[in-house]
Amino acid sequence: MGVTKEQLLARLKELQITFSQYEHPVILTVEEGEKYVGNLGGGMSKNLFLKDRKQRFYIVSALANTKVDIKVLSQRLGLGKGGLRMAPAEALGEILQVPLGCVTPFAIVNDSARDVALLLDQGFKTQEYCFFHPLSNDMSISLNAHDLDKFLKSIGRDPSYVDFEANPTVSKDQPPDLAALVPPSLGVMPQQSETQPSSQVPADGNHVSVNNKSQTVSGKNSVKCDIQCSFMYHLHEWNHHIFLFDNYTIGLSFHVYLFFY
């Protein structure tokens, strides 16, 4: 059993962290979130849960309007162009211990997520406060980057801020600038079969076309997401020609390049 929303909020209060909380119905898109907190200012975040070929896991947390190119990020981590992919659905429950739509920096409070790398958008530091889900998408909390850092340090994590829109050259003479952020390889999740899907496709009838070349995540049009525009989608192996994008089924051709309707 992971840390609950109530336990997390109690921990923030114990740390004397200043935050505001906003209860609302379960929300799955930025547009839905704006109905409840969009008039409050601050920055909304989107959150990706990724893995590499060695079964190491990453949370990428960025402002909703920050462009995150997974191909470029993979190279900057020293993993090669295709070294990062979306984590399978079962990893949400087994590692982060949160349901779909609830990926958040706070998930690393769970012991099962102690080796998950957390990469934060340096843009958070420019905001008076930012919105995140406190392990549940029926509530949003706002706090500033300083207080987020305070929480992370209280659980033994040094915050790592990244300019996700940078694209530095990686070569033999210029090593990957983010290689130090790659977590230890402990093989927490079993290797998925290349011919077996990792989860069931939801029957909601929503489809988005994909043409695989570069996976770039941008602002509120990055499809199904929570108030943080939680950009969590789950990879079905490519020879099944299916991606899961939160509650979206994404068609896949041989290369992956996202087009948003």
Q: What does the alpha-carbon distance between residue 134 and residue 9 come to, in Å, rounded to a whole number?
A: 8
Q: What does the alpha-carbon distance between residue 222 and residue 67 come to, in Å, rounded to a whole number?
A: 10
pLDDT-derived band at 136 (thresholds 50, 70, 90) equals: very high
Domains of the chain: 5-167+224-232 (3.90.960.10)
Residue 256 above 80 pLDDT? no
Angle between helices 145-154 and 5-14 (to 10 degrees): 100
Question: What's residue 236's pLDDT?
Answer: 34
Question: What's residue 59's pLDDT?
Answer: 99
Question: What's residue 193's pLDDT?
Answer: 42
Greater confidence (215 vs 77) lies with 77
pLDDT-derived band at 170 (thresholds 50, 70, 90) equals: very high
Question: What's residue 216's pLDDT?
Answer: 55
Question: What's residue 31's pLDDT?
Answer: 73
- Chain-wide mean pLDDT for the chain? 78
Q: Give 70: exposed, middle or buried? Use CB within 10 Å, 0-12, 13-18, 19+.
A: buried
Beta strands in 96-254 (DSSP E): 117-121, 130-132, 139-143, 161-162, 207-208, 216-217, 233-235, 242-245, 248-251
What residues are paired with 82 via a beta bridge? none
pLDDT tens-digit series, residues 47-63 = 999 999 999 999 999 99
Question: What's residue 241's pLDDT?
Answer: 32
Mean pLDDT of 92-112: 95
Q: Centre a 10 Å sphere on the Cβ of residue 123 and count the other Cβ atoms it contains.
A: 21
Share of the chain above pLDDT 70, in %: 70
pLDDT-derived band at 100 (thresholds 50, 70, 90) equals: confident
Mean pLDDT of 137-152: 97
